[in-house]
Structure 1
């Protein structure tokens, strides 16, 4: 993170963006790196600018704030800013830092920005977005969405990733959600020291392995901290032994 908190404003209303920018200008430790007025522009700006924090409207003509986050490889910290308080429960279920209702009071915004600064300073809790094509590590977070439920999840919290049709299902915190990416695409972006391809259908977080037992056909059976069991194929057994020095 830079010395200043880098903020991207996403709101379809020009006056709302101007109001937020004016409030941010009063804080010398905050830098507004850009604005976006719809979902496609916001996603492009995130990819280009890599902000530390999004001030994100929920309801826009081109989609929702949740649509902005859906499918991003790595998600910045998020504070939702909206005129509609009925989205608050969904926002906090997603583990947003804060939820501000318009018109935004300077004191409430300042408090939310302080939360964001603290979060970004301590990436073990949540990390800012990484630059394109870097490997994603345990502290990077992804946004997951299944129906009306949403989550921000640090990759280190994910115990396993399993093929689900053309996509991948991620298991975390005794829950699971579908991510619209193939297992191979995810494997290419994840830090190999963290995630291991146990078999054709499963990636395993090695930090979540509680026990390793020999299995049939010279493979292994892994018991994870959540109690789930994963078979390691014979083909992958040698690599596992090297990874874990068995």
Structure 2
């Protein structure tokens, strides 16, 4: 696939002038027909779910009725997303650490062309490698790709991550789990070490989400994490190494 491979596009932006500007810029790329538009989050979700007749979504971050991030799980699994944003600091950081493409408003013809080349390359070969994954901070948002699609998850909402061989189970403070194709070792290389630590072999815990610690007379300590129904037994050795980093331990 190359930059002239046909790609069907959806435009999702709550500002008609912004959509008109993207339409104007895309006119220089006739191989990218626009197959639909939406101006608010309700209409966007309906259009995204209606039919997977699109390959590319231009998605505004700030929409009437919600955030463009909220729509990521509704995008067809094989479709690419180019986010549109107006210099929103935290949004730009989320895009950069997750290697997701985005356009700063007002978009330019040159930057749009660059983005389209990147999308075409990703469609042909998979995500473009930009070297070692960037280190994350506790205020970052990570793009998690599970069987039900992709979604942005704040690191603060991750209670624990458990190894499942080449996969890992991301356990959220909401009580929901997401199985992702990423090893625990890869997570450990990215996550802030002062916030996430192994409490036993194969399990990383968010130390900020520890609610209570049960210390039985016999056996290992049991760590209760916010949002998880059952405590997790900790390794005595590993707990001894990190206990001074846990408030109130």
> What TM-score bracket applies, with the shorter chain setting the length?
0.5 to 0.7
Residue 72 to residue 80, structure 1, CA distance change in 2 (3 Å): closer
Shift of 1:158: 6.3
Structure 1: 4+ residue segments shifted above 4 A: 138-141, 160-166
| Partner in structure 2 of residue 21 of structure 1 | 23
Asked if the contact 1:90–1:149 (Cα under 8 Å) also holds between the matched residues in 2, the reply is no
Instruction: State the alpha-carbon separation in 1 of the partners of residues 20 and 71 from structure 2.
Output: 20
Candidates 161, 167, 177, aligned match of 1:159: 167
Candidates 76, 97, 103, aligned match of 2:79: 76
Instruction: State the alpha-carbon separation in 2 of the partners of residues 163 and 140 from structure 1.
Output: 15
1:149-188 matched pairs, under 5 angstroms: 159-161=167-169, 167-171=176-180, 172-174=182-184, 175=187
Instruction: State the alpha-carbon separation in 2 of the partners of residues 162 and 88 from structure 1.
Output: 24
Shift of 1:17: 0.5
Normalised TM-score (structure 1): 0.53
Instruction: State the alpha-carbon separation in 2 of the partners of residues 141 and 114 from structure 1.
Output: 27
Normalised TM-score (structure 2): 0.53
More strand by share: 1
Q: Summarize deviations over 1:138-189 as a string: whole Å, max 9, x none.
A: 9988313333689xxxxxx96145887863232424339xxxxxxxxxxxxx
Which residues of structure 2 form unaligned runs of 5+? 129-144, 158-164, 189-249
Asked if the contact 2:9–2:32 (Cα under 8 Å) also holds between the matched residues in 1, the reply is yes
* 1:142 aligned onto 2:145: no
1:73-222 matched pairs, under 5 angstroms: 74=77, 76-86=79-89, 87-96=91-100, 98-122=101-125, 124-125=126-127, 142-147=149-154, 159-161=167-169, 167-171=176-180, 172-174=182-184, 175=187
Instruction: State the alpha-carbon separation in 2 of the partners of residues 45 and 33 from structure 1.
Output: 10
